DNA sequence: TACTGATAGTCAGCATACTGAGCAATATCC
DNA sequence: GGATATTGCTCAGTATGCTGACTATCAGTA
């Protein structure tokens, strides 16, 4: 029997578990209540103002059915707004609010600290190498999940 | 603004997402309906017959509140049994069934194929290195999640 | 032995993720 | 122009994962 520690799937699950815990702890300590998923969505909305939900989902590789709830919570917290698109009445345009911008700014140090903390067992060089290998494996497997990464359209 | 691809947390989430999708696809194609989490639990029960739920949770780093539901589903599928422990009336002893053993045996090739597939973008050497770095990062962060890995007690 | 603390398990509640279905609106093709 | 396909979004249902609370039981100690 193969050991769990020889199964990339198990290691992936475990590393993610720690990454989320670290993120929530750091951000919580800074006085904010934002999940990793909500953070990524909000940051992406800020950089791509007016994007629709499908585009947002593609940019951060979320399932489109997951985005609905995530945006719901961002809107409910007053960090983002959802408007009907004038160009396509099916679509909703997303916009960050001033409050969302403030939150992003103040939360950034905690987010960066979390990223460092989840690699604390590795040397800087090893951390870089881990990220490189993850990027490479992800690129090769991108189409294998229901929610692949998609670049923004013009 | 840091790119998502420079955030280990985001890469962790993405790699895990692909790993789960690959696992479910391979196992589903083989004609089985078992999640990665259920597979790991069942395999661990097989190797440690009669273990209780807390020990099981520790061996695969699941939260104890998650184990309840996972075992529920294994029992419901007829793959495992839950008995009251004669030594400790709080505890439940877990046992794999014959059906569970059969399933494990038949599912193994698909599980192994999935592990290879999720590393398909990497050379064998790179795959080894990725696993080594993940193990190292996980070991350093083990206590940071609510569900750390625990070795079985004597 | 009675008290105190720890432990095994469950439950309610919330937030990802996914499958699959459905609705409304847009795009495409004849 | 009208049938058809596609797209954007939502919803119901299921499975992790977590927080926090609770019950029952056990273990250690005064």
Under the phi-then-psi rule, with left for phi > 0, alpha for psi from -120 to 50, and beta for the rest, what region is A78?
A: left
Give percent of chain A above pLDDT 70: 97
Mean pLDDT, chain B, whole residue set: 94
Find the CATH number of the domain harbouring B27: 1.10.10.10
**What is the CA B56 to chain-centroid distance, rounded?**
10
Nearest to B130 among A121, A133, A147 (CB): A133
Q: How would residue B153 be classed by pLDDT, with cut points 50, 70 and 90?
A: low
Instruction: Check if the beta carbon of residue A92 is closer than 8 Å to that of residue A70.
Output: no
Nearest to B136 among A7, A37, A122 (CB): A122
Q: Is residue A123 part of a domain?
A: yes
Q: Which residues of A touch B128 (CB under 8 A)?
A: none
Q: Is residue A42 part of a domain?
A: yes
Q: Is residue A94 part of a domain?
A: yes
Closest-lying nucleotide for B82 based on CA to C1':
C9
- The count of structural domains within chain B is 1
Does position B152 have pLDDT exceeding 60, yes or no? Answer: yes
Burial class (CB in 10 A: 0-12, 13-18, 19+), B62: buried
Q: Is residue B135 part of a domain?
A: yes
pTM of the model: 0.94
Q: Give me the domain span that covers residue A49.
A: 8-144
Give the mutation candidate from B60, B137, B149, B150 for the A interface (greatest A CB count, under 10 A).
B137
Nearest to A8 among B4, B131, B142 (CB): B131
Q: Is residue B153 part of a domain?
A: no
* Helices and strands, counts by H and E, chain B: 6, 2
Contacts of B99 (CB under 8 A, 6+ apart): B78, B79
Q: Which residues of A touch B61 (CB under 8 A)?
A: 14, 17
- Provide the CA A150 to C1' D1 distance, Å, integer: 35
Q: How would residue A33 be classed by pLDDT, with cut points 50, 70 and 90?
A: very high
Q: How would residue A117 be classed by pLDDT, with cut points 50, 70 and 90?
A: very high
Q: Which residue has the tokens 């590789």?
A: A61
Q: How would residue A154 be classed by pLDDT, with cut points 50, 70 and 90?
A: very low
Q: Is residue B92 part of a domain?
A: yes
pLDDT tens, position by position, B87-129: 999 999 999 999 999 999 999 999 999 999 999 999 999 999 9
- Provide the CA B45 to C1' C7 distance, Å, integer: 21
Q: Is residue B150 part of a domain?
A: no
Q: Is residue A151 part of a domain?
A: no
Q: Which residues of A touch B23 (CB under 8 A)?
A: 9
- Provide the CA B63 to C1' C11 distance, Å, integer: 14
């Amino acid at each position: 029997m193969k050991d769990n520690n020889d199964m990339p799937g198990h290691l992936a699950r475990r590393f993610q578990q720690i990454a989320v815990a670290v993120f929530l702890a750091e951000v919580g300590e800074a006085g904010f209540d934002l999940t990793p998923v909500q953070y990524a969505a909000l940051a992406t909305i800020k950089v791509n103002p007016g994007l629709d939900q499908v585009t947002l989902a593609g940019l951060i590789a979320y399932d489109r059915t997951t985005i609905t709830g995530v945006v719901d919570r961002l809107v409910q917290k007053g960090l983002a707004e959802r408007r009907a698109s004038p160009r396509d009445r099916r679509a909703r345009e997303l916009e960050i609010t001033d409050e969302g911008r403030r939150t992003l700014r103040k939360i950034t140090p905690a987010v960066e600290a979390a990223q460092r903390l989840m690699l604390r067992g590795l040397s800087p060089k090893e951390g870089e190498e881990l990220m490189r290998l993850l990027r490479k494996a992800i690129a090769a497997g991108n189409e294998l999940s229901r929610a692949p990464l998609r670049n923004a359209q013009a």
